[in-house]
């Protein structure tokens, strides 16, 4: 119990409520991911920054497969395969089978959620992830988001 007479207190419940967990609704299942630790997240940030630096300096040098590999590895870290729910399919292959725009949107939302949970803020305010889970439903009904493509 904190000594309130000295002005020092810590509300663990408020901190837990502020750090929402990554949640993904996919093909009728709800998956609860994990928040990455600061060292884990900074490794992902560095990988993403390196890839995007290459993409902005010379867009034709970063193949789409390399971008998708980054997304897939990140999703596997956030949504690890659970041993106790063996009947539930692994969400990562199902998510990666969605249209590219939707995969990018999911990556951006979960990446920003992880950044916010690790207390990282940029020079511009970050748009927080949607308070609702991302629901992609069956792959045939998944919306196709507009995606800007670089032309060589």
- Percentage of the chain beyond pLDDT 90 is 26
Chain center to CA of 152: 29
Q: What is the pLDDT of residues 57-78, one digit of tens each?
A: 877 777 888 889 999 999 999 9
DSSP 8-state class, residue 84: T
CA distance 84 to 110: 24
Q: How does pLDDT run along the chain (152 residues), one tens digit per residue?
A: 555 556 677 766 666 656 678 888 888 888 888 989 889 989 999 999 998 888 888 777 778 888 899 999 999 999 988 767 677 788 899 999 999 999 999 999 999 888 888 877 644 444 444 445 555 544 443 333 334 444 44
pTM summary value: 0.67
């Amino acid at each position: 119990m904190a000594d309130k007479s000295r002005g020092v207190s810590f509300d663990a419940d408020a901190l837990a409520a502020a750090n929402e967990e990554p949640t993904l609704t996919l093909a009728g299942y709800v998956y609860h991911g994990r928040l990455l630790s600061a060292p884990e997240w900074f490794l992902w940030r560095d990988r993403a920054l390196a890839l995007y630096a290459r993409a902005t300096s010379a867009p034709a040098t970063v193949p789409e497969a390399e971008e998708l590999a980054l997304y897939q590895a990140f999703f596997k870290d956030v949504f690890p395969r659970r041993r106790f729910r063996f009947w539930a399919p692994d969400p990562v292959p199902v998510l990666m089978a969605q249209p590219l725009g939707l995969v990018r949107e999911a990556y951006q939302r979960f990446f920003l959620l992880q950044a916010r949970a690790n207390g990282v803020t940029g020079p511009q305010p970050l748009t927080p992830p949607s308070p609702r889970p991302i629901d992609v439903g069956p792959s045939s009904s998944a919306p196709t988001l507009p995606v800007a493509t670089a032309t060589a």
